[in-house]
Amino acid sequence: MHHKIVVICMLVVAIATTVVQSGNHGEQDEAVVALGRRLFYDPVLSVDQTTSCGTCHQQFAAFAHVDHALSHGVYGRIGTRNVPALQNLASRRGFMWDGAIEHLDMQALSPLTSHAEMGETLPRILEKLDSVGWCRTLMTQAYGSPDITIPRVLRALGRFVATLESRSSRFDRWHAGQDTLAENERRGYDLFRAYCASCHNGIDFTDDSFRSNGLPLDSLLMDHGRERVTLDEQDRYRFKVPSLRNVGRTMPYMHDGRFKRLRDVLAHYAQQDDLADHADPLVRSIAPLDDRARKDLIAFLLTLTDEAFLRDTAFGEKEVWE
Amino acid sequence: MLEVLLSIVFVVHSTGNGGQYTLERAQWYVGNVELHAIDGSSYRIAGYYLLDTDDPQSLRLELPELLPHADYRSLSFTLGVDSLDNHGGPREGALDPMHGMYWTWSTGYIFLKIEGTASASPQPKKRIEYHLGGFRAPYNNIRRVHCAMTSGQEARIVVDVDAFMRTINVAQTPGVMDVRSSADLIDQAVEMFRAP
């Protein structure tokens, strides 16, 4: 027997939750960044308190996860994609390999709550942050009051990662007329401009587009890329064109980390023999490159390494705990 | 000039359509409410409310401002979150991602959730879950809802979940969680909201 249920709600007390625009009122930039950095390195945000953002985003690897093809999360869970480097994000459009997140301050939602990454719920994150002494202090310094809220947590993380700016590689210095490139590096740069810079263009060597680089589908991961976001078949197998800054340190490569070395990546593009049907036309137009050309290209790519960025103590974990 | 304080009360109507389904929880965004007076004037109140049957107080909106006195005969609101607000960063209040109304894998807010059980559902525990959202073409599912209202200090809107459920073949569609499938159901969802 089913009871008829008519829910009629007429309560005297009314609480309307209206939107309070985030704004910058009372917000102290440096303190927001400091809070974000503290949160970034704190494993308390993960469900089993083992995994921080910094666990997988390692500074010496330009905040990628060196030697890990796929992301490693709580309870030994393995994700489905390679950990991307974090650098010059304030200039990017669309985050994650498929662009699912469009605002940098919203990006942390994904790893925080992803089952295979930090696996935590937002209410529990608030509970845990409420129980640690430092959080209210840092919230007050950052936002003018001790309230701990998810938008505040997200914004702080977003502001911290936005400070991760890499613009002082040897290539940058050469470009500014302050350094030299060797002959092979110059040749590599010419090749790069001829064959790579259609997609890897601009100051950060990415056009922020989503393209298929012709990698055959991994039948285990079955990752259809950006199609999941747009539900447009045209976007099947398309992934974000990554920035190439510090690319010499962010191995392994591609959205699923299938290539361990830069020369494997170049072999994939240059040999063109196992490009999948869905390869972007620009990938198809890359000429076969001989061994010397590939070495020159790699020599150029290594000039994009920014040692100062990789060692900048303002971004590191160490001082956070001191 | 006289001013009035208006409240809008949402009354959820869910009898189960003769035992076919049971509503456990409904949540939806109401944005940018606009009151329309008989003289053609209108008054808009910017901002969002999250309504939630688990929090009955939330079903009664006290508009935060006094309205100019007029003979209001209809109201409209956005069912969902406008494109601009969907693109923005984290917001406090109704749009706080903590409410679980945000898709991290598919861009943007969930506008409406209807969850429960139905005898025809092939899902485990006979679950039904309709999560509708999507703000970008070709799946722009942002809709404006228009309802007649009687003049007075309290406007009532019926949320006829029975009517929504009658339009759905539960055996075929026990759940929806993406913007494309949302597009198939959003207009039926709009039809749920009506004057008493």
Chain centre to alpha carbon of residue A229 = 17
Give the pLDDT confidence of B87-96 residue by residue, as tens digits: 888 999 999 9
Among B14, B48, B139, whose Cβ lies nearest the Cβ of A19?
B48
Among B49, B88, B106, whose Cβ lies nearest the Cβ of A16?
B49
| Rounded-to-integer distance, Cα A45 and Cα A58, Å | 17
**Of the listed ranges A10-19, A257-266, A289-298, B37-46, the one predicted with least confidence:** A10-19
Residues from chain B that touch A155, judged by Cβ atoms under 8 A, are: 89-90
CA-based torsion, A248, A252, A255, A259: positive or negative:
positive
Average pLDDT over residues A217-224: 94
Is the pLDDT confidence value at A100 over 50? Answer: yes
| Rounded-to-integer distance, Cα A173 and Cα A179, Å | 5
Among A2, A101, A126, whose Cβ lies nearest the Cβ of B104?
A101
Interaxial angle between packed helices A150-162 and A133-143, expressed in degrees from 0 to 180 and rounded to the nearest 10: 70
- The CATH architecture that domain A170-305 belongs to is Orthogonal Bundle (1.10)
Give the pLDDT confidence of A123-181 residue by residue, as tens digits: 999 999 999 989 999 999 999 999 999 999 999 999 999 999 999 999 999 999 999 99
Q: How much is the pLDDT for B19?
A: 95
| Rounded-to-integer distance, Cα A62 and Cα A246, Å | 6
∠ Cα A40 A41 A46 (to 5°): 80
Between the alpha carbon of residue A62 and those of residues A144, A169, A308, the distances in Å are 32, 12, 11
Interface subset of A 186-245, CB within 8 angstroms of B: 228-229, 231
In Å, how far is A60's CA from the nearest CA of chain B? Answer: 28
Give the pLDDT confidence of B46-76 residue by residue, as tens digits: 999 999 999 999 999 988 888 888 888 999 9
Peptide bond into A252 cis (omega under 30): yes
Q: Which residue of A has its CA nearest to B96?
A: A151
CA-based torsion, B81, B85, B88, B91: positive or negative:
negative
| Cβ contact, residue pair B57, A122, below 8 Å | no
CA-based torsion, B188, B192, B194, B196: positive or negative:
positive
**Of the listed ranges A11-15, A57-61, A277-281, the one predicted with least confidence:** A11-15
Number of H helices, E strands in chain A: 14, 2
| Rounded-to-integer distance, Cα B131 and Cα B182, Å | 7
Between the alpha carbon of residue A200 and those of residues A209, A211, A267, the distances in Å are 10, 11, 17
Is the pLDDT confidence value at A3 over 60? Answer: no
| Rounded-to-integer distance, Cα A257 and Cα A245, Å | 17
Containing B187, the helix (H) or strand (E) segment is helix B179-191
Residues from chain A that touch B19, judged by Cβ atoms under 8 A, are: 2
Average pLDDT over residues A226-239: 95
Mean pLDDT of chain A: 90
Q: How much is the pLDDT for A25?
A: 55
Pair of tokens at residue A242 = 């990554």
In Å, how far is A46's CA from the nearest CA of chain B? Answer: 16
Q: Does A116 touch chain B (CB under 8 A)?
A: no
Average pLDDT over residues A292-308: 97
Among B19, B96, B105, whose Cβ lies nearest the Cβ of A151?
B96
What confidence category does residue A79 fall into, taking pLDDT thresholds of 50, 70 and 90?
very high
Q: How much is the pLDDT for B85?
A: 87
| Rounded-to-integer distance, Cα B18 and Cα B21, Å | 8
Say if residues B30 and B93 touch (Cβ distance below 8 Å): no
Q: How much is the pLDDT for A187?
A: 98
In Å, how far is A59's CA from the nearest CA of chain B? Answer: 25
Give the pLDDT confidence of A192-201 residue by residue, as tens digits: 999 999 999 9
Is the pLDDT confidence value at B150 over 50? Answer: yes
What confidence category does residue A17 fall into, taking pLDDT thresholds of 50, 70 and 90?
very low
Give the pLDDT confidence of B97-116 residue by residue, as tens digits: 999 999 987 779 999 999 99
Q: Which residue of A has its CA nearest to B21?
A: A2
The domain ranges of chain A are 29-165, 170-305
Q: Which residue of B has its CA nearest to A104?
A: B89
Specify the CATH number for A29-165; select among 3.40.50.300, 1.10.240.10, 1.10.760.10, 2.60.40.790. Answer: 1.10.760.10
Among A15, A18, A101, pick the best mutation site for testing chain B contact (most B Cβ within 10 A).
A18
Say if residues A173 and A180 touch (Cβ distance below 8 Å): no
Contacts of A149 (CB under 8 A, 6+ apart): A126, B92, B96, B98
Q: How much is the pLDDT for B65?
A: 80
Number of H helices, E strands in chain B: 3, 15
Domains A29-165 and A170-305 share a fold: yes
In Å, how far is B107's CA from the nearest CA of chain A? Answer: 5
Say if residues B140 and B95 touch (Cβ distance below 8 Å): no
Residues from chain A that touch B14, judged by Cβ atoms under 8 A, are: 5-7
ipTM of the complex: 0.87
Residues from chain A that touch B85, judged by Cβ atoms under 8 A, are: 19
What confidence category does residue A4 fall into, taking pLDDT thresholds of 50, 70 and 90?
very low
Among B60, B78, B85, B119, pick the best mutation site for testing chain A contact (most A Cβ within 10 A).
B60
Q: How much is the pLDDT for A18?
A: 29
Say if residues A141 and A93 touch (Cβ distance below 8 Å): no
Containing B193, the helix (H) or strand (E) segment is strand B193-194
Average pLDDT over residues A271-289: 91
Q: How much is the pLDDT for B145?
A: 98
CB atoms within 10 A of CB A213: 21
Say if residues B147 and B75 touch (Cβ distance below 8 Å): yes
Torsion of CA A176, A180, A185, A191, to 10 degrees: 40
Residues from chain A that touch B126, judged by Cβ atoms under 8 A, are: none
Q: How much is the pLDDT for A14?
A: 30
Q: Which residue of B has its CA nearest to A156?
A: B90
Number of alpha carbons in the 13 Å side-chain half-sphere of residue A76 = 0
Q: Does A151 touch chain B (CB under 8 A)?
A: yes
